[in-house]
Structure 1
């Protein structure tokens, strides 16, 4: 049996579980045209009668469904937390979401989300830049000096995350984790993203560290390069 298309399934879900909600959005990969065989439906519910926000998982209409339920104000702390950590998961879902139902509340919330996304994350302080530069240096040194392949792989993973964070945050861009590392980098600079992926791909395939080391050097050079001697924290 062929399952319903995302919009049809989402509409049926709303009618079954949240028929009296004030508004609902369908978000996630299916909305962006990036859905795969394992994609789920991300549905955001706004219902002024619920006492607090919650998240729940379902399998309905042959779809895995993740539902995020909020009242008229409970979404705001999530917006703020996402802004502080520079990972705008909730604002992005709201901004890109397709309206499933609305009694007049959605427009203002979508506007709030879009404005937050357009503003970008708060700029790193000079102290934060130095701290991040130090930990990036420390991880790079571990990577360069390691001769244990098993340990080296996981150091490389950490290095990739720290490097992507450093590039994006020093340029006042949103960051991401997992698949959103690459997506966030592409939103910043597709050319750099290709370099980034190629460098780490070469390392994982061949064990050759040179491209990764060179790339980290390029990124850190405008900030003074590696930082180790003289760094102090909490003194």
Structure 2
């Protein structure tokens, strides 16, 4: 896999490059900021871009704005945001920009190299990986969607796990129910959120509705322990 890294911390940038190279990937470019990002993408045609959120010169939102720009142009390269921060103003826009090939992980919560490399592979293959903390912070900020009140607690649990990027099999395992039950709950969610088949990727639209609603007390499943990002499936 051809990977571009855009990260202002030289130690982290070099560390990521070595880690990815040792895993058999080709790091085609290492950038300290986003100023040469577009030129590097054009020159090297990477499969995946790993981007920090806050980089020089302002150290505010250069990286995440670059990620939005990349996503707006198409499905190459895939984008993995790796940051210390949840940039709430833009995270939902990134999720909405398309269902394929996107991840948002928090640096301080990536505690296992194997999990990180799995997330890299999953995003590059078109999956979606969201740290539960990213989902949680968005939930606390979004306005209430009246449609969400129609969902049962179990349907909310299923939808919350979908928002973390869990596939149906993983949801079934987390909730100790059958995959058939998961499919029925998802169908009910689509119906109650008024998402018809012609609406496009209903799974992504349902997750966006979930992110637009505040967290309901007792409606969400237990999350993994801190430091364990979800990497068990993609939003379909």
What TM-score, normalized by structure 1, do the two folds share?
0.31
Higher RCO structure (Cα 8 Å, ≥6 apart): 2
The structure richer in helix per residue is 1
